[in-house]
Structure 1
Amino acid sequence: MIVQSQHIDLATPTGTMRTYVHRPVGDARRPAVLFYSEIFQQTGPIERAARLLAGHGYAVLVPEVFHELNPIGTVLAYDDAGRDKGNADKTAKTAEHYDSDNRAMIDWLAQQPWYSGALGAMGFCIGGHLAFRAALQPEVRATACFYATDLHTQVIPNGPGQHSMERLGDIQGELLMIWGKQDPHIPAEGRAKVYQALVAAGRNFTWHEVNGQHAFMRDEGERYDPQLALLGYQLAFDLFSRTLR
């Protein structure tokens, strides 16, 4: 499918959130996927991943996840300065503001004539966590989380009862959890903690651990693993095909 791309500026309680929309050309009704970036926002690899999803028949929304902390259009570089800024932004934003961001995108989608009403979420790194957070919204039927950082920690500021893992009962859709066993950001004990919590909560999920490093999906840099990336996309497409179509 040929993909068209645009951006929209959505009003949220914490300011304007630029959101990039990639979808197949034409006005046929499509399922949508909320796609969450790494801490660097919509970089080249994230845009290419979003357009790949869109080319398989989905309307893909990529929000600027730290919109209230940066000028509109900010993209951080894959270097030490970009990493430091992104990590600082991650610790400065509260979980409830991700929830209001999600609500803004879902409400906007509901007004689009090309939206079918079927909604999924997906993300890489902190975006994997934010996709998991999006799964708390009742409209989200399926969520693909790739090496979701900080699910097993308290890094993202949260009020009482606001940590994502404390609200598992709100997740009604199916989860796909994919991890790299050589990822130092999410060690084995951290992955086990998440797994055990999902089992205890009786959530509907599949779990995959692969021999990959952190950011193995990112098609830039020395940690990119094309074979694992293809496998990851195939798993995500299978999930969305079963649940959103």
Structure 2
Amino acid sequence: MNVQSHIADIATPTGTMRTYVHRPAAAGRYPVILFYSEIFQQTGPIERAARIMAGHGYAVLVPEVFHELNEIGTVLGYDDAGRDKGNADKAAKDVQGYDTDNRAMIEYAQQQPWSNGQIGAMGFCIGGHLAFRAALQPEVKATACFYATDLHTTIIPNQAGQHSMERLADIQGELMMIWGKQDNHIPTAGRAEVYSKLTHANLVFTWHEFNAQHAFMRDEGERYDPALAMTGYQLALQMFGRTLHQA
């Protein structure tokens, strides 16, 4: 499918959230994927990844995840300065802000003539965690989390009882967890902890570990693995195809 892109500035309780919308150019009603970026926001690799998903028949919404902390349109570089700023933003934003962001995007999507009302979520790195966070919303039917950071830590500011792993009972949809075994951000023990908690919560999920480094989906840099990236997209598309293509 050919893809069109446009911008939606969505009102949230913490300010305007610029959201990039990528969707099929052909008229129709499509499932919606809330697509969460790395700490760098919508970089070239994130936009290309979102457009890949859109080209398979989805309306893909990419929010500026740290909109409260930056000027609209901010994109950070894949360098030390960008990494430091993005990590500082991650440490500064309270986790409840992501919940209100998710509500705002879901309500926006539900009002659009190009939406069929079926909603999923997907993300890379911190975006994998934010996609997991989106799964707490009852409307989200399927979520693909790629090397989700900080699920096994408390780096993201939380109040008591608000850590994502403390709210597993709120997840009603299907989860897909995808990891790189050589990911130095998410050690084996951390992955094992997440797996154990999801299993004991009796959630519906699949689990995929590959011989890959962190950010293996990002089509820039030496860690990019094109073959595994293709597999990752196919896994996500298979799940969304089963869960979101309903009238």
Verify same fold: TM over 0.5: yes
Q: 1:42, CA displacement in angstroms?
A: 0.1
The amino acid across from 1:188 in the alignment is: T
Gaps of 5+ in 1: none
Per the TM alignment, residue 26 of structure 1 is displaced from its structure 2 partner at its CA by: 2.9
d(CA) in 1 for partners of 2:160, 2:215: 31
Which residue of 2 is the match for residue 39 of structure 1? 39
Give yes or no for contact 2:2–2:26 (8 Å, CA) kept in 1: no
State how many pairs are aligned.
Answer: 245
Partner Cα distance (1:142, 1:109) in 2: 16
Which segments of 5 or more consecutive residues in structure 2 lack a partner in the other structure? none
Q: What corresponds to 2:95 in structure 1?
A: 95
**Aligned position for 1:241:** 241
Partner of 2:180: 180
Residue 220 of structure 2 is aligned to residue 220 of structure 1: yes
Task: Give the TM-score taking structure 2 as reference length.
Answer: 0.99
Q: Distance in 1 between matches of 2:162 and 2:66?
A: 19
Are 1:217 and 1:224, in contact at CA under 8 Å, matched by a contact in 2? yes
The residue number in structure 2 matching 1:52 is 52
What is the aligned partner in structure 2 of residue 71 from structure 1?
A: 71
Tell me the TM-score normalized by structure 1: 0.99
Indicate the SS of the match to 1:9.
strand
Tell me by how many angstroms 1:27 deviates: 2.7
Match of 1:232 in 2: 232
- Alignment correspondent of 1:153: 153
What letter is aligned with 2:117? G
Which digits, 9 at most, give the CA deviation of each residue in 1:139-197, with x for residues without a partner? 00000000000000000000011000000000000000000000000000000000000
Give % identity.
76
1:26 aligns with 2:13: no
- Contact persistence 1:27–1:113 (CA under 8 A): no
Aligned partners of 2:146 and 2:31: how far apart in 1?
A: 20
1:24–1:57 contact (8 Å) kept in structure 2:
yes
How do 1:81-230 residues align onto structure 2 when only pairs under 5 Å count?
A: 81-230=81-230
C-alpha separation in 2, matches of 1:134 and 1:108: 15
